A and B are shown apart, each in its own frame.
Chain A
């Protein structure tokens, strides 16, 4: 499973999300300064204002109109989001991975369920805090998770590997030695059954 499947919108986000973040933060600053005025604005908006009317409005008013729509959306507090995904999502993930065991971290069949839960958890927290998903924090979060848990995995991610040489060599050498001993035994016994030593 490729990274794009884990982050279905990450490539699109990379282009548009950054722009959106900057726009949000710019209009947030404006909205905070003129918050009281913005809350009164809805009464002014008539259904179907003409483009000409909109163009005649001063630019600052335009910013306030637009900012109003984003007040609810920019309730995403990034530090809070980061704290919540670390507490509510990373902790059960850590426990689960410890339970699976370090040997099997690169085995996707074993870790798929836990990883999926981690992803869904970050989505749920984003919805709770009305953040966009995915976002820069989630991306950094997952890069950190990958660099800790999946650093040593091969590129295809699912290949099994031989045990270390300390275990492999005895497994191979012992049958060879037993073979040679058994052969010597048979040669010796067949010699003896001939009556000749």
Chain B
């Protein structure tokens, strides 16, 4: 018996049938996390027990028996379940929209051969990795998440699915890194217009993410082998998220370096060109922080209920609508793509109008309107841009390589 116990009045430690409660000083409410014995008990809520001033546990006035307060454990569960369903459907819709917009963008990039260049090739790979990521996420959300029987059975296939899910997540962010490295090499390092060999980019974008995904799989199987590897409460997830954050950070520094070069070296000589280059990198500069922000602010979910809900909505939008954002910024808002689409549309319109007029009357029209679309983009721009640019950093065909990516995105 300690001195504290002699001097202070306290309620004895007790077992109330569900949880153990420690010695508590008189007049104090003690709380601990709710147990997870029942499906509608939320282990993040708190159960409490009151030790009154006389050193006895609180007795419920109706039954006069000692009573612990478990009411908070299942009082909010239905609301939380409703919100979880909303977020779930939002995620599925986001990924479906992303897949649609990305497939349209890929179709545009493959159809318009005039747009092809190395930067577009990198965009195509990026979009493809986003499509695969969304497909795996949708598969996971539809097959595994609403199916507790499957999770209980814990087949190897759902762990394999999770492995590929982590791999595709890595691919996404490493392809963004490849874009950044390519731009960096092109602007800061390059002098000659020789096209880069893309083998190393393919290795970094498709091959390397296997490494963190495999290490995560091994560590999870050995140390935290929960059913279907669904739990997000483990620090082992940082095995994949750590390299992703490192890639984002490196990408960010590359882009800052590019901006620094453009601003300092070109400001004095050719303001117009530096503006143009700025526009070229603007899209990437916007995307990198947006894509990375979910990893930075994830640990700090606000305690307040309303703020926490808003936080959840924002995080879900940032996470699941990324493919749509990337497709919009890199493709739909790209001046080159818009120009190509407009030309194609005018061509169809005149052809259709042509056929109608031929059908209806005997007048013939000229074909000059349709001939412009056949001229490759780079030649078109090359003719109109006959300045010779100073400095080691810029060359005409480099200009071409950049412009074929985007000029006013």
Contact = CB atoms under 8 A, between A and B. Distances in A.
Contacts of A167: 223
A171 B189 contact: no
B203 A186 contact: yes
A71 B351 CA distance: 111
A121 B61 CA distance: 41
A187 interface: yes
Nearest to A174: B215
B250 interface: yes
Contacts of B211: 175, 178
A79 interface: no
B37 interface: yes
B181 A163 contact: no
Contacts of A196: 189-192
B185 A190 contact: yes
B185 A191 contact: yes
A172 B239 contact: yes
Q: Per DSSP, are chain A's interface residues mostly helix, strand or loop, or mixed?
A: helix
B210 to A, nearest CB: 11
A162 B238 CA distance: 12
A175 B243 contact: yes
Interface in A114-171: 155-156, 160-163, 167-168, 171
Contact of B247 (A168, A183, A189): A183
B215 A171 contact: yes
B37 A194 contact: no
B181 A186 contact: yes
14 contacts: A2-B17, A155-B20, A160-B224, A160-B231, A160-B234, A168-B235, A171-B236, A175-B211, A183-B181, A183-B204, A186-B181, A187-B184, A191-B185, A194-B185
B358 interface: no
B155 to A, nearest CB: 16
Nearest to B235: A162
B73 to A, nearest CB: 12
B54 interface: no
A175 to B, nearest CB: 4
